Amino acid sequence: MQKNRSQGFTLIELLVVIAIIGVLSAVVLASLNTARSKGNDAAIQSDLSTIQTQAEIYYGAAGGNSYGTAGTACNNAVFSDSTITKAITGAEAANGTGTVVCNNTTSAYAISSQLSSDAAKYWCVDSTGFAGQRVTALGTDTVCPAS
């Protein structure tokens, strides 16, 4: 007499498959976090580029060849322009710290945001036309740091 055996997977086979799936998902999730940080950095760079363009429009039109009253607040003078305010809010959301540094005088401005992928680096733009990554924080200057 022959025994009637049902065909299926053993417990060991199922555990091996589950372990493989777990390892693969961990690798994918680690890659997604890196991609997310780089995406946030791109958003910061885009927002600050928008600010740089809009600040020049403000200087020539609304500001009357001026960036407005000197200050160090992100809601003062040139930084109170509605397009610039939205870009500052976007950069604050993207950097994860909510901190963007804004400085201006009547003839110059600079704005900097910490990068999401590396907290020791900043993206800075200023009225000289510079836009780039820096390792030194902006402080109270109206020109991006040299390094």
Please say if the pLDDT value at position 130 is more than 70: yes
Name, in order, each residue with C-beta under 8 angstroms of 78's C-beta and a sequence gap of 6 or more.
55, 58, 59, 63, 67, 68, 84, 104, 109
- Mean pLDDT computed over 121-130: 95
Domain boundaries, the chain: 11-134
Q: Is 90 helix (H, G, I), strand (E, B) or coil?
A: helix
In this prediction, residue 5 carries a pLDDT of 64
Of residues 89 and 98, the one with the higher pLDDT is 89
Count CA atoms closer than 13 A to 33's CA, side-chain side: 6
For residue 3, pLDDT over 80 is answered with: no
Using one digit for the tens of pLDDT, what is the confidence trace for 29-82? 888 888 889 999 999 999 999 999 999 999 988 768 899 899 999 888 899 999
Q: Is the pLDDT of residue 122 over 90?
A: yes
- Output the average pLDDT for the chain: 91
Instruction: Evaluate if residue 134 carries a pLDDT over 70.
Output: yes
